Amino acid sequence: DAKTTQPPSMDCAEGRAANLPCNHSTISGNEYVYWYRQIHSQGPQYIIHGLKNNETNEMASLIITEDRKSSTLILPHATLRDTAVYYCIVRVGTGGFKTIFGAGTRLFVKA
Amino acid sequence: GAVVSQHPSRVICKSGTSVKIECRSLDFQATTMFWYRQFPKKSLMLMATSNEGSKATYEQGVEKDKFLINHASLTLSTLTVTSAHPEDSSFYICSARDESVGGQFFGPGTRLTVL
C-alpha cells in the first residue's frame, strides 16, 4: 500500500471548516483513499473514501486532486466533538485488504 | 450500519496469566478480521489477519505463540494473550471486513493492563 504523509497536528475554530491535507504521491491507479478518525480511547471510525472523484457524505467531503497525488478531508462545520486523530490511508480494493495506519493528524477544535 | 463489538472493554490481570479478547461482527458475516494494538499516543499497529476456518497471518515481529488467534465462526474472532507481562499492556482493537458493502469496520477496543 502507498505511504501517506499528513501534518502531525492542526487547530480549528469551532464552527469553521477543518481542512486536513494528505499527500500520497506514490498512489497506484487501483488504490483508494480512505479517511478514518479515532477519538480518544475509542476504535477508529470510518469517515469517507474515494478513488478519483470528489465525494461527500453526511460527515465530510473528500477532495482528490486530478493527479491523485494528494487529497483533502473537509469537515464543513467543525465541532468540539470532532477533536480526534484523523488517518488518511491508501489501500487497494474497497475494504477487503488490511489497513495500515500512519501517524495521522491530531485535530484540535477550539471553542 | 455494520457494528463490531469487543469484549471485554477493559481487563486487568496478573503477570503470567492468559487473557482472551473477543471480537464479534454483530450484523454481518466476516470471513476476515484484523487485530491491532495501540500504545499511548501512538498509531495502530497491525498484528495479524484472522481468516475464518484457517490459520491467522501474523505481521513481522508479532509472536504467534504469544498472541493466539482463533476465527472459528463467521462472526467471532478471539485473541488470547498468553502468559501476559506488563509490556503487553496496551489497547487492542479488532476490525472486520463486510464483503457485502466493501467496508472495514472497527471495534471499540479493549484496554489490557497487566500488573
Is B103 in contact with A104 (Cβ distance < 8 A)?
no
Q: Name the H helices within chain B.
A: none
pLDDT greater than 60 at residue A95: no
- Please name which of B47, B32, B115 lies closest in space to residue B80, comparing C-alpha atoms: B47
Q: Which of A3, A30, A40, A41 to mutate to test the interface with B (most CBs of B within 10 A)?
A: A41
pLDDT greater than 60 at residue A96: no
Instruction: Using an 8 Å CB-CB cutoff, list chain B residues near A36.
Output: 106
Distance between B38 CA and the closest CA of chain A, angstroms: 10
In total, chain B counts a number of residues equal to 115
**Identity at B13, one-letter amino acid code:** C
Tens of pLDDT, residue by residue, chain B (115 residues): 689 999 999 999 999 999 999 999 999 999 899 999 999 989 999 999 998 888 999 999 999 999 999 998 999 999 999 999 999 999 999 999 887 877 889 999 999 999 9
- Please name which of B63, B39, B36 lies closest in space to residue B49, comparing C-alpha atoms: B36
Residue A85: pLDDT band (50, 70, 90) is: very high
Is A100 in contact with B46 (Cβ distance < 8 A)?
yes
Instruction: Using an 8 Å CB-CB cutoff, list chain A residues near B98.
Output: 95
DSSP state of A5: B
Is A42 in contact with B109 (Cβ distance < 8 A)?
yes
Residue A93: pLDDT band (50, 70, 90) is: low
Is A46 in contact with B109 (Cβ distance < 8 A)?
no
- Start-to-end C-alpha separation, chain B: 37
In angstroms, the CA A54 to CA B26 distance is 31
- In chain A, the largest separation of any two C-alpha atoms, in whole Å, equals 40
For Cα atoms B99, B33, B78, give the angle at the middle one, nearest 5 degrees.
140
Is A46 in contact with B46 (Cβ distance < 8 A)?
no
Instruction: Using an 8 Å CB-CB cutoff, list chain B residues near A99.
Output: 34, 46, 95, 104
